[in-house]
Amino acid sequence: MKTTFTTCAVLMLLVISWTKENSSIQSSTIGDENSMQQNITSVTIGTQVWMVKNLNVTHYRNGDNIPQVKDSAKWAKLTTGAWCWYNNDSATGAVYGKLYNWYAIHDPRGLAPTGWHIPGDSEWYEVSNFLGTNAKNAGGKMKEAGAIHWLDPNVNATNSSGFTALGGGYRDNLGQFAYINFLGYWWSSTENGTKYALCRRLVSYGGFMDRMTYEKQKGFSVRCVKD
């Protein structure tokens, strides 16, 4: 009996030690935003695999910090990568993710987690063409249904693709915030000249997807597609 009790006690100590060690490793991995593959929810649309949530990282892939810029005047003058929450409110970030300027998209240190990348214009075209002719019906299939994160009426929203797009609004090139729940903008990695880049827009009042060109200083949401 004594021998059995001693053996059980030793085994319990070993289990406790192993649990603590591996719990520490797991917490460290979860805390690394850009090594978060195990936490990424994705959806396959056609031949592409997309993240289901907007990007929400504060570091480039190599670990370097991406500056958070709250001041509107500073934001307007940026020519390097930066992020913000809509209205500089962390509560919006928990739902809609962060807004990034295009310079963060283009930074060679990498904004997307390992194994993922920011979609180019042709990749956005591919998903919109798969879901709807000339993107006329793609938006409704990509928008979250209902009126929680889109204004009512959220026209033609079915989210049948599983993309779950939210109306995260944007930050303009002067640093002002606008149109949360009314519009959603997502950067592509494709430039259009030295001052502009291409993006996609979804709206609460229609089921289409727009292809648009805006100043690189604007703050838009970011979705990643698997390499």
Q: How far apart are CA 21 and CA 204, in angstroms?
A: 48
Would you state the pLDDT for residue 37?
Answer: 41
- When mean pLDDT is compared across 64-68, 86-90, 134-138, the lowest value belongs to 134-138
Note the pLDDT of residue 160.
97
pLDDT of residue 4: 42
Give 152's pLDDT tier (boundaries 50, 70, 90).
very high
Give the pLDDT confidence score for residue 39 in this predicted structure: 79
Does the structure show a pLDDT above 60 at 30? no
Q: Tell which wins on pLDDT, 18 or 206.
A: 206
Distances (CA, A) of 123 to 68, 83, 96, 188, 189: 28, 23, 22, 9, 10
* Residue 168 CA neighbour count, 13 Å, CB half: 35
Cβ within 8 Å of residue 103, ≥6 positions away? 78, 79, 80, 81, 82, 216
Higher pLDDT, residue 146 or 5: 146
Q: Round the average pLDDT of the chain to a whole number and report it.
A: 86
The β-bridge relationship of strands 42-45 and 48-51 is antiparallel
156-210: per-residue pLDDT in tens? Answer: 999 999 999 999 999 999 999 999 999 999 999 999 999 999 999 999 999 999 9
Q: Which has more confidence, 29 or 199?
A: 199
pLDDT > 70? residue 17 = no
When pLDDT is cut at 50, 70 and 90, the band that residue 134 belongs to is low
No. of helices (H) and no. of strands (E), the chain: 6, 11
Report how far residue 205's alpha carbon sits from residue 156's, in angstroms, rounded to the nearest whole number: 9
All residues at 6 or more sequence positions from 226 whose CB lies less than 8 Å from its CB, including other chains? 42, 48, 49, 50, 115, 116
Question: Cα–Cα distance between 97 and 75 in angstroms, integer?
Answer: 18
In this prediction, residue 28 carries a pLDDT of 24
The predicted structure's pLDDT at residue 135: 67
136 pLDDT band (50/70/90 cuts)?
confident
**3 state DSSP class of 77:** coil
pLDDT at 38 over 70: no
Residue 10 has pLDDT above 70, yes or no: no
- DSSP annotation of 55 reads -
